Amino acid sequence: MTVRFGVLGAGRIGQVHARAIASVDGATLTAIADPVNAAAVSVRDAYGCDIRTIDEIAASDDVDAVVICTPTDTHADLIEQFVRAGKAVFCEKPVDLSVARVKDCLKTVAAENGTLMVGFQRRFDPDFQALKQAIDDGKIGDVEMVTLISRDPGAPPADYIKRSGGIFRDMTIHDFDVARWLLGEEVDSVQAAASVLTDPEIAKLGDYDSLNVIMTTASGRQCTINNTRRATYGYDQRIEVHGSKGSVRAENHREANIEIANADGYTRPPLLNFFMSRYTAAYAAEIASFVDAVTNGTATVTTGHDGLMALALADAALQSVAEGRVVKLSEITG
Amino acid sequence: MTVRFGVLGAGRIGQVHARAIASVDGATLTAIADPVNAAAVSVRDAYGCDIRTIDEIAASDDVDAVVICTPTDTHADLIEQFVRAGKAVFCEKPVDLSVARVKDCLKTVAAENGTLMVGFQRRFDPDFQALKQAIDDGKIGDVEMVTLISRDPGAPPADYIKRSGGIFRDMTIHDFDVARWLLGEEVDSVQAAASVLTDPEIAKLGDYDSLNVIMTTASGRQCTINNTRRATYGYDQRIEVHGSKGSVRAENHREANIEIANADGYTRPPLLNFFMSRYTAAYAAEIASFVDAVTNGTATVTTGHDGLMALALADAALQSVAEGRVVKLSEITG
Amino acid sequence: MTVRFGVLGAGRIGQVHARAIASVDGATLTAIADPVNAAAVSVRDAYGCDIRTIDEIAASDDVDAVVICTPTDTHADLIEQFVRAGKAVFCEKPVDLSVARVKDCLKTVAAENGTLMVGFQRRFDPDFQALKQAIDDGKIGDVEMVTLISRDPGAPPADYIKRSGGIFRDMTIHDFDVARWLLGEEVDSVQAAASVLTDPEIAKLGDYDSLNVIMTTASGRQCTINNTRRATYGYDQRIEVHGSKGSVRAENHREANIEIANADGYTRPPLLNFFMSRYTAAYAAEIASFVDAVTNGTATVTTGHDGLMALALADAALQSVAEGRVVKLSEITG
Amino acid sequence: MTVRFGVLGAGRIGQVHARAIASVDGATLTAIADPVNAAAVSVRDAYGCDIRTIDEIAASDDVDAVVICTPTDTHADLIEQFVRAGKAVFCEKPVDLSVARVKDCLKTVAAENGTLMVGFQRRFDPDFQALKQAIDDGKIGDVEMVTLISRDPGAPPADYIKRSGGIFRDMTIHDFDVARWLLGEEVDSVQAAASVLTDPEIAKLGDYDSLNVIMTTASGRQCTINNTRRATYGYDQRIEVHGSKGSVRAENHREANIEIANADGYTRPPLLNFFMSRYTAAYAAEIASFVDAVTNGTATVTTGHDGLMALALADAALQSVAEGRVVKLSEITG
């Protein structure tokens, strides 16, 4: 069986997923939709699919699954439309910026017995998979503390920031998902600090660019997240998990694995500078995992619930910053 | 001029300082005091000094300076006794477990125009000095975020913990001092999480073994501290400072700089397992710095005020854990 | 324009090239030939090409270029057949095990004004390209000494060794090519030592498994090669170039970029264990380079002459081992 | 018992050994001798010893052992004088530049039943000791190939080179000793290449600055040495030993264990730039080992025979360069 895909949205991340679909066994790209025709044409020419409207794709008999790469404020509606149309749905994070709206959407998915995978590609990164495997193999004993350092090379444009829901919901949300994946227990409470250090324009937009988060679980496990929007040395993505028997960490990826030595010292190249080159393998593995779930009728690895929980953690962190106190996750999730 | 030293206390840390004094130019060990005669004899035999009582040392014309390595609850009294006796005083951290008592003690030092250096040896570690120099040289631009990871190989005995004032005042206090040294601004507020993950006995003593702290300055700079009492791979001491133009970090020290490769992978030895071997060079440089200040009549690099502030940060962190909220440092320092 | 390929030989390396052709823009796989039908079917099913005989491919109007992946003793004949048929030819190393036969073959290529690229994929590895770029950018000044360490995880089967021409012509030949690429001058003389340390069966076949080579150029530049057929920790591929202003080296590739720390130390995974996974990117870039040359009518990056010179260096090294003396390359090339 | 030392020669290496003696338990510095009075005074003032002539030291009842740090051409005579005087002798390498003279000298030592240790400090370096221990513990199985990379920051002055016996006898001699220590078998044959790449003045002196050596043992084990007189990035001292079950290597030492990341990449400081700072711990351990042998009447770890064999390997390498052939060690040692 081959899963026939429609991709909704031919922007940057839509192209990433189109490429992933083209490279994965058991998947084929049938149609692309985008209001900007040139973007749709570009995908069609690269991968040989049809151009259709979103509604046409929903009505297409030759489409089994869709990948939603449209603006965030359309995600929940599209998820509902497509699960009702009987399509398996892969949606880029976040489902919505409102916890209440996400909950409603997930109810619809459940009522329709739909398939929904929310895109948290980091879980599929080969290095992070190896790190998780080491934990699952007992190499570090019981997980005690997770340290996530995640730094962007530079801030996105102001227009993007305005619609993003803020750094916690846009950037940290990936770390919240990784935290849940690695802690082995749900987060119980959240505290955070956030400030603007790289660009005062970000403050004018009501957002932050530099933050630290501490999360704790009921048994006392802890996780910290360190984020900044500016790392001159590239896209810095580190995970370290400390356990009762040891520790495991994943290293960054560089532009090239060389080192130059001279009178100034020993220099290695900067890190890969872009999330799409850093996570190329992860995006392909993520789609392969979705294809596998659709083909075999099994549960997806990441779910709508995962999307909800990561968003709730973002809301809890925001509330912690605003109120200067520890916030229980249950205050957000109800 | 040679600074003639008396060392008060011939325990573990007293021996460290006796060795440091013996190895530093311009310093000589004149007398050791310890109620346990065997301990004093051991230092005398190693370094050729007299054994005297504390009061005899205070009255000795041939002693210019003392190093206080006695139990914590004697520190403040001894500082006062020796500044009144006209001796320059080097005191191991902390001055006292009570902020109020420290303040009183520092008033006495000031009234006597005394010389007091509080021991925070990490500032003198050659690698951390190189890291600080890189910051001061502008290599990373403005400091934005400091990440301190500091993990002990194992917890101290219960008896020690009982008298220690707890992990924040005993262990994290070093990180609080490093944070102040590197942030370039005073800390404004503190939040922390702490739990017991390694040994339930520690909970019975009312202490913690695993913690994370976030501190922020008035301008929004942030610092995190990660501590645990158990790291199977040795004494883990890492600093990373992130700035507007780059980042700098100091690496751990291993038992040996070798790597073995075989079918199981590439393995390097564990870290040095003990603070005294890890910081041998730092302890010597610290005493050398004190000798320099005493000889030249200049200010010591670390002061009684530094001791006070690190303790206040510990108290703020403890209060944050107890109350689940951000604590302003001014709540503690008044 | 799209270059339409026939691949001759559907074995391990034939499959590598088929995959590379499928992944490269401007190239398409038209036909596969292999006397073992199952092998050909496997390639056809994976990439959707025809199965034809070699002679059919030579006569095919819809084939522009061939990749020769057949046994070594057929290479020279096939090169001649296909340049005469007007096809661009990419041939896996070596052209032949006899320097005289290679020279004859290259004369035919020249007479037919044919296009011949000999496969030395390492030159196309992204890390080695970055290393070469650093040299060309003057980062290390004038090249003085090249150190090549190249170790296979394990020896090939006895049958392969018998037909391989021996380790110098089969394995070291890649290092000889890299040496020529990096030295910036032709090799003038060669000396070598070789022995059997991993398996006495290899000695029975008249071959070696462990060797070191020193090459010098007319101006005194030097290059060493270290080879062994057994590295328990994976496929070890290191290059270091030392120059008047500094040094540059390329690092190995691991199975995953993680590190586990525990009481035994810090362990990273073994190296990638297979030349095909280690050099996946290099094989794709190599074919892309060939496609570029065919499309634009430009010279190939690696040539028949490169194949001849690497083989001559292997012969010189063998003669050095046999005679216990330095051998001038001109003794071999005439 | 305390071993009372006289040091002959108060130059650079004499000061190294005086400091080592001062820092080692069971050793004391009694006298220094140097025709340059200021040099002798400097050592006396630093360590509180007498200044005596060499003959006075030979006649001193309060001197048990001497360290010979005089010019090379005096070594053999002084060894003979002092073993006849009943002193234990530690002599810096080489015993002499002539194999014949060394043999004669060793005969005298044997006839006098004297104690002679020849200084090859690298064997006492803690990292190299850990590497050797890993081999002895079976971590890499049977030793197969040793790779030594040893690069000086810069060439010594012309005057030094003239008297040095050339790079093989002056610099490579340390690597020859390390090779013998690690190979686990005596070297059977030697081949080498050498050239002048850093400074034509060195050629005028009849010496080389860049060289590679291959040594083989009777069973086929191999060792390579790579030397250059110019490494812009510091004093480069690497050892890698490859065995049947794995590999072990020792890393270089840097000025500081920090790393700076910015838009240019990740930079660590250069290596320690001087053999005396790189091998400080080794020099102290070497003297401690000598003191131990003298105190307990046991054999020294490195012997006059080791000095002879390293010199013979240097002569064999020189002859190989001159004659363009493999030279049997037995051709030199007779």
**Residue A76 to residue A70: CA distance in whole angstroms:** 11
Asked if B252 reaches chain A (Cβ–Cβ under 8 Å), the answer is: no
Q: Do D258 and B248 touch (CB under 8 A)?
A: yes
3-state secondary structure of A230: coil
- Helix or strand (DSSP H, E) at A143: strand A143-151
- Helix or strand (DSSP H, E) at A289: helix A280-296
**Residue A131 to residue B19: CA distance in whole angstroms:** 43
Helices (H), D24-166: 37-47, 54-58, 75-84, 99-111, 126-136, 158-164
* One-letter amino acid for residue A194 of the chain: A
Would you say the C-alpha torsion A4, A9, A11, A12 has a positive or negative sign?
negative
State the number of CA atoms in the 13 A half-sphere of B276 facing the CB.
10
Taking contacts as CB-CB distances below 8 angstroms, the residues of chain C near D189 are: 324
3-state secondary structure of D322: helix
How near does any CA of chain A get to the CA of C207, in Å?
A: 33
Residue B112 has pLDDT above 80, yes or no: yes
Q: Do C233 and B269 touch (CB under 8 A)?
A: no
A66's tokens: 């869709």
Residue ranges of the domains in chain D?
Answer: 3-114, 123-273+310-333
Other chains touching B, judged by 3 or more CB pairs under 8 Å: A, C, D
* Confidence label for C48 from pLDDT (cuts 50, 70 and 90): confident
Task: Spell out the residues 6+ positions from residue B203 whose beta carbon is closer than 8 angstroms to its own.
Answer: B196
**Residue C101 to residue C165: CA distance in whole angstroms:** 14
8 Å CB contact between A18 and A29 = yes
Q: So what's the pLDDT on residue B23? A: 85
List b or e across B78-112, with b for residues whose CB sees 16 or more CB atoms inside 10 angstroms.
bbbbbbebebbbbbbbbbbbbbebbbebbebbeeb
From 3.40.50.150, 3.30.360.10, 3.30.310.50, 3.50.50.60, which CATH number describes the C123-274+310-333 domain? 3.30.360.10
Residue C1 has pLDDT above 80, yes or no: no
* Confidence label for C292 from pLDDT (cuts 50, 70 and 90): very high
Closest-CA residue to C313 (of C200, C220, C188, C227): C188
Residue D126 — φ and ψ, nearest 5°?
-60, -40
3-state secondary structure of A107: helix
Burial of A270 (0-12, 13-18, 19+ CB in 10 A): buried
Closest-CA residue to D156 (of D197, D209, D193, D94): D209
**Residue D208 to residue D213: CA distance in whole angstroms:** 13
Q: So what's the pLDDT on residue B276? A: 86
Asked if D139 reaches chain B (Cβ–Cβ under 8 Å), the answer is: yes
8 Å CB contact between A109 and A76 = no
Residues above pLDDT 70, as percent of chain B: 100
Q: What are residue C7's DSSP bridge partners?
A: C32, C67
How close are the terminal C-alpha atoms of chain C, in Å? 42
How many helices, marked H, and strands, marked E, lie in chain C?
14, 15
pLDDT tens across B67-88, in order?
Answer: 999 999 999 999 999 999 999 9
8 Å CB contact between D174 and D120 = yes
DSSP letter assigned to residue B11: S
- Helix or strand (DSSP H, E) at B320: helix B304-323
Measuring CA to CA, how many Å separate D67 from each of A334, D37, D113, D231, D289?
80, 18, 18, 31, 13
**Residue D294 to residue D303: CA distance in whole angstroms:** 13
User: How many CB pairs lie under 8 A apart between chains A and D?
Assistant: 46
| Owner of token pair 């509180």 | D48
B37's tokens: 């005669």
- Class of D123-273+310-333 in CATH: alpha beta
Q: So what's the pLDDT on residue D220? A: 98
- Class of A123-278+310-333 in CATH: alpha beta
Q: Which of D220, D226, D245 sits opposite C210 (nearest CB)?
A: D220
Which chain C residue has its CA at the smallest distance from B267's CA? C267
Residue B223 — φ and ψ, nearest 5°?
-140, 135
8 Å CB contact between C89 and C68 = yes
Q: Do B258 and D269 touch (CB under 8 A)?
A: no
Q: So what's the pLDDT on residue B274? A: 87
pLDDT tens across C70-85, in order?
Answer: 999 999 999 999 999 9
What are the strands, taking DSSP E only, across chain B?
3-8, 27-33, 50-51, 65-68, 88-92, 116-119, 143-151, 187-195, 210-217, 222-228, 236-243, 246-250, 258-262, 265-268, 327-328
pLDDT tens across C167-200, in order?
Answer: 999 999 999 999 999 999 999 999 999 999 999 9
Q: Do A247 and C262 touch (CB under 8 A)?
A: yes
Other chains touching D, judged by 3 or more CB pairs under 8 Å: A, B, C
Q: How many CB atoms lie within 10 A of CB A204?
A: 10
Closest-CA residue to C43 (of C14, C78, C70): C14
pLDDT of chain A, 334 residues: tens digit per residue: 799 999 999 999 999 999 999 888 899 999 999 999 999 999 998 888 999 999 999 999 999 999 999 999 999 999 999 999 999 999 999 999 999 999 999 999 999 999 999 999 999 999 999 999 999 999 999 999 999 999 999 999 999 999 999 999 999 999 999 999 999 999 999 999 999 999 999 999 999 999 999 999 999 999 999 999 999 999 999 999 999 999 999 999 999 999 999 999 999 999 999 888 899 999 999 999 999 999 999 999 999 999 999 999 999 999 999 999 999 999 999 8
| Owner of token pair 């040289």 | B137
3-state secondary structure of B325: strand
C91's tokens: 């041939």
Q: So what's the pLDDT on residue A1? A: 75
pLDDT tens across D81-106, in order?
Answer: 999 999 999 999 999 999 999 999 99
Which chain D residue has its CA at the smallest distance from C139's CA? D232
pLDDT tens across B16-49, in order?
Answer: 999 999 888 899 999 999 999 999 999 998 888 9
pLDDT tens across D4-51, in order?
Answer: 999 999 999 999 999 999 888 899 999 999 999 999 999 999 888 999
How near does any CA of chain C get to the CA of B187, in Å?
A: 33
Residue C328 — φ and ψ, nearest 5°?
-75, 140
**Residue B168 to residue C116: CA distance in whole angstroms:** 71
- Class of B3-114 in CATH: alpha beta
Other chains touching A, judged by 3 or more CB pairs under 8 Å: B, C, D
Q: Do D212 and C246 touch (CB under 8 A)?
A: no
pLDDT tens across B121-151, in order?
Answer: 999 999 999 999 999 999 999 999 999 999 9
DSSP of D70-84: S-GGGHHHHHHHHHH
**Residue D27 to residue D65: CA distance in whole angstroms:** 10
Residue D178 — φ and ψ, nearest 5°?
-60, -40
**Residue C331 to residue C327: CA distance in whole angstroms:** 7
* One-letter amino acid for residue C162 of the chain: K
Task: Spell out the residues 6+ positions from residue D317 whose beta carbon is closer than 8 angstroms to its own.
Answer: D168, D172, D190, D191, D192, D194, D211, D213, D327
pLDDT tens across D240-274, in order?
Answer: 999 999 999 999 999 999 999 999 999 999 999 98
Taking contacts as CB-CB distances below 8 angstroms, the residues of chain A near D269 are: 265-266
A127's tokens: 């290095």
Q: What is the rounded average pLDDT of the residues D131-137?
A: 98
How near does any CA of chain D get to the CA of C256, in Å?
A: 19
Computed over every residue of chain B, the mean pLDDT equals 96
Q: What is the rounded average pLDDT of the residues C76-101?
A: 97
- Helix or strand (DSSP H, E) at C260: strand C258-262
Mutate to test the interface with B, among A185, A195, A211 (most CBs of B within 10 A): A195
DSSP letter assigned to residue D94: P
As for the ipTM of the complex, it is 0.95
Q: Do C233 and B267 touch (CB under 8 A)?
A: no
3-state secondary structure of C181: helix
Q: So what's the pLDDT on residue A48? A: 87
Task: Spell out the residues 6+ positions from residue C160 whose beta carbon is closer than 8 angstroms to its own.
Answer: none
DSSP of B187-208: EEEEEEEEE--S-HHHHHTT--
**Residue C162 to residue C166: CA distance in whole angstroms:** 7
Closest-CA residue to D80 (of D55, D106, D46): D106
How near does any CA of chain D get to the CA of B317, in Å?
A: 29
| Owner of token pair 């004149």 | B30
Asked if B131 reaches chain D (Cβ–Cβ under 8 Å), the answer is: yes
Helices A99-111 and A304-323: crossing angle in degrees, nearest 10, is 170
How near does any CA of chain D get to the CA of A295, in Å?
A: 44
